[in-house]
Amino acid sequence: MRIISYNVNGVRSAMKKGLTDWLQTDPADVVCLQETKATKEDVDVSAIEALGYNTYWFSAEKKGYSGVAILTKVKPDALFYGNGIMQSDAEGRVIRADYGDVSLINAYFPSGTSGDERQAYKYVWLDEFFEYINELKKTRPKLIICGDYNIAHKEIDIHNPVGNKKSSGFLPEERAWMDKWFGAGLVDTFRAFNTDPHHYSWWSARFPTVRAQNKGWRIDYISVTDPLQSALKGAAIYPDVKHSDHCPCYVDIKI
């Protein structure tokens, strides 16, 4: 099974830029979208479903904000909308699909770039999500956690670590949380196969030349729990896919 994680920064905008045409190339069995900024009713899902995808959407209460979706050619055995935490669910940040004994979680982590209040909430969300995953592992030990984590973990994951050491998304507290995350029985699938630098998944849209110059951040991840590590077959990033300020990343895994 090939699984893609992709922050589309507005699914309707991405579709205008050729997202549906790209899906026609059959890039994956499952495509996890973040920051959809739309409900299912806002989108021409028939064009996507015609390609063989079942679509499941969990949107924010606020119009045009946040939201996640799973497009899957393999029908899940069960779907769970949200993680039971009120503010996170109101912002449409987590959706889960179960395939046999494997659970796939698609998550859109909060950004703290808009100010201190959202940065403070980001830390709360991270702690709540960590606890949610730890509880889920007790009954569902085989987890795949896709998403825009909004954190560059290590210096290798950002083009200018020195200049961004005080930037949200690369703060010491955020990076320490990632240390804790990957120290708690989770595997960074991309780094399991790629140890070289200059691989990024997001480039600031405020500076149009930075993507061409590859001055980016790797903030999109697919993590798996230890019981699935031996099932990994490959992982990579698609920097040339351009429907968003992010690009897709994927994992091949035998389920």
Report whether 122 contacts 110 (CB < 8 A). Answer: yes
User: In sequence order, what E strands does the chain have?
Assistant: 2-7, 30-34, 54-58, 68-72, 78-81, 94-99, 102-108, 142-148, 186-188, 220-225, 232-237, 249-253
Report whether 94 contacts 83 (CB < 8 A). Answer: yes
Residue 238 per-residue DSSP state: -
Q: Where in the sequence numbering do the catalytic residues fall?
A: 148
Q: CA-CA distances (angstroms) from residue 105 to 22, 55, 77, 221?
A: 23, 15, 14, 12
Q: What is the pLDDT along the chain (255 residues), one digit of tens a residue?
A: 999 999 999 999 999 999 999 999 999 999 999 999 999 999 999 999 999 999 999 999 999 999 999 999 999 999 999 999 999 999 999 999 999 999 999 999 999 999 999 999 999 999 999 999 999 999 999 999 999 999 999 999 999 999 999 999 999 999 999 999 999 999 999 999 999 999 999 999 999 899 999 999 999 999 999 999 999 999 999 999 999 999 999 999 998
Residue 117 per-residue DSSP state: H
Report whether 36 contacts 69 (CB < 8 A). Answer: yes
| Distance separating alpha carbons of residues 44 and 101, to the nearest angstrom | 32
Q: What tokens appear for 90 in the block?
A: 């109101």
User: Is CATH 3.40.50.20 correct for 2-253?
Assistant: no
pTM of the model: 0.97
